[in-house]
Amino acid sequence: MTAETKAGLEIVDTAATGSCCSSTGSCHDAATDAQTDGITTVYQVTGMTCGHCEGAVSSEISELPGVSSVTAVAATGQVTVVSKAPLDEAAVRAAVDEAGYELVGRA
Protein backbone atom coordinates (compact mmCIF):
# COMPACT_ATOMS: atom_id res chain seq x y z
CA MET A 1 0.00 0.00 0.00
CA THR A 2 1.37 3.42 -0.86
CA ALA A 3 0.42 6.79 0.51
CA GLU A 4 1.20 10.36 -0.43
CA THR A 5 0.24 13.68 1.08
CA LYS A 6 -1.49 16.45 -0.86
CA ALA A 7 -2.57 19.66 0.84
CA GLY A 8 -2.34 18.02 4.26
CA LEU A 9 -4.49 15.02 3.28
CA GLU A 10 -3.17 11.51 3.11
CA ILE A 11 -4.03 9.68 -0.12
CA VAL A 12 -3.97 5.90 0.30
CA ASP A 13 -3.74 3.40 -2.54
CA THR A 14 -6.26 0.70 -1.65
CA ALA A 15 -5.77 -1.39 -4.79
CA ALA A 16 -3.28 -3.64 -2.97
CA THR A 17 -5.81 -4.74 -0.36
CA GLY A 18 -9.06 -4.42 -2.29
CA SER A 19 -10.68 -2.54 0.57
CA CYS A 20 -10.64 0.95 1.97
CA CYS A 21 -11.49 -0.38 5.39
CA SER A 22 -8.61 -2.53 6.61
CA SER A 23 -5.77 -4.68 5.46
CA THR A 24 -7.94 -7.75 6.04
CA GLY A 25 -10.56 -6.53 3.55
CA SER A 26 -13.14 -6.07 6.30
CA CYS A 27 -14.90 -2.92 7.41
CA HIS A 28 -14.40 -4.19 10.95
CA ASP A 29 -10.99 -5.21 12.17
CA ALA A 30 -11.11 -7.32 15.34
CA ALA A 31 -8.09 -5.52 16.78
CA THR A 32 -9.84 -2.18 16.33
CA ASP A 33 -13.29 -3.29 17.44
CA ALA A 34 -12.19 -5.20 20.56
CA GLN A 35 -13.26 -3.76 23.86
CA THR A 36 -10.34 -3.22 26.22
CA ASP A 37 -12.42 -2.42 29.29
CA GLY A 38 -14.69 -4.89 30.94
CA ILE A 39 -15.66 -8.50 30.95
CA THR A 40 -16.74 -10.31 27.80
CA THR A 41 -19.29 -13.09 28.18
CA VAL A 42 -20.81 -15.13 25.35
CA TYR A 43 -24.32 -16.52 25.83
CA GLN A 44 -26.27 -19.04 23.75
CA VAL A 45 -29.79 -17.91 22.83
CA THR A 46 -32.38 -19.95 20.94
CA GLY A 47 -35.07 -18.65 18.61
CA MET A 48 -33.22 -15.84 16.82
CA THR A 49 -33.62 -16.10 13.03
CA CYS A 50 -32.94 -12.64 11.61
CA GLY A 51 -31.59 -9.14 12.11
CA HIS A 52 -34.77 -8.06 13.86
CA CYS A 53 -34.27 -10.83 16.42
CA GLU A 54 -30.66 -9.75 16.93
CA GLY A 55 -31.79 -6.17 17.50
CA ALA A 56 -34.49 -7.14 19.99
CA VAL A 57 -32.11 -9.24 22.08
CA SER A 58 -29.34 -6.63 21.90
CA SER A 59 -31.71 -3.85 22.88
CA GLU A 60 -33.02 -5.64 25.97
CA ILE A 61 -29.59 -6.75 27.21
CA SER A 62 -28.15 -3.27 26.55
CA GLU A 63 -30.53 -1.88 29.15
CA LEU A 64 -28.88 -3.90 31.95
CA PRO A 65 -26.70 -1.78 34.26
CA GLY A 66 -23.01 -1.92 33.39
CA VAL A 67 -23.41 -3.28 29.85
CA SER A 68 -21.19 -1.43 27.37
CA SER A 69 -21.84 -3.47 24.21
CA VAL A 70 -23.92 -6.35 22.90
CA THR A 71 -23.50 -8.28 19.66
CA ALA A 72 -26.13 -10.88 18.77
CA VAL A 73 -25.67 -13.26 15.83
CA ALA A 74 -28.83 -15.09 14.75
CA ALA A 75 -26.94 -17.61 12.60
CA THR A 76 -25.04 -18.99 15.59
CA GLY A 77 -27.40 -18.01 18.39
CA GLN A 78 -24.48 -16.43 20.21
CA VAL A 79 -24.76 -13.13 22.04
CA THR A 80 -21.52 -11.46 23.11
CA VAL A 81 -21.87 -9.03 25.99
CA VAL A 82 -19.19 -6.68 27.31
CA SER A 83 -19.88 -5.31 30.78
CA LYS A 84 -18.03 -3.43 33.51
CA ALA A 85 -18.59 -6.26 36.00
CA PRO A 86 -19.93 -9.82 35.82
CA LEU A 87 -23.65 -9.86 35.06
CA ASP A 88 -26.24 -11.76 37.03
CA GLU A 89 -27.31 -14.57 34.69
CA ALA A 90 -30.89 -14.29 35.97
CA ALA A 91 -30.97 -10.65 34.81
CA VAL A 92 -29.62 -11.61 31.39
CA ARG A 93 -32.19 -14.43 31.19
CA ALA A 94 -35.00 -12.00 32.07
CA ALA A 95 -33.82 -9.55 29.37
CA VAL A 96 -33.69 -12.31 26.74
CA ASP A 97 -37.13 -13.55 27.83
CA GLU A 98 -38.49 -10.00 27.55
CA ALA A 99 -37.22 -9.91 23.96
CA GLY A 100 -39.13 -13.15 23.28
CA TYR A 101 -36.25 -15.65 23.15
CA GLU A 102 -34.67 -18.24 25.42
CA LEU A 103 -31.28 -18.05 27.10
CA VAL A 104 -29.72 -21.53 27.10
CA GLY A 105 -26.69 -20.44 29.13
CA ARG A 106 -23.11 -19.46 28.49
CA ALA A 107 -21.69 -20.56 25.17
- Phi and psi at residue 13, to the nearest 5°: -85, 110
Whole-Å CA distances, 48 to 14, 36, 105 = 37, 28, 15
Mean per-residue pLDDT over the chain, rounded: 79
pLDDT tens-digit series, residues 69-88: 999 999 999 999 999 999 99
Whole-Å CA distances, 4 to 12, 15, 95 = 7, 14, 50
d(CA 90, CA 96): 10
First to last CA, the chain: 39
Report the predicted TM-score, pTM, of the whole model to 2 decimal places: 0.67
Contact between 83 and 38 under an 8 Å Cβ cutoff? The reply is yes
Q: Which CATH number fits domain 39-106: 1.10.1060.10, 2.60.40.10, 3.40.50.720, 3.30.70.100?
A: 3.30.70.100
H/E run at residue 82? strand 78-83
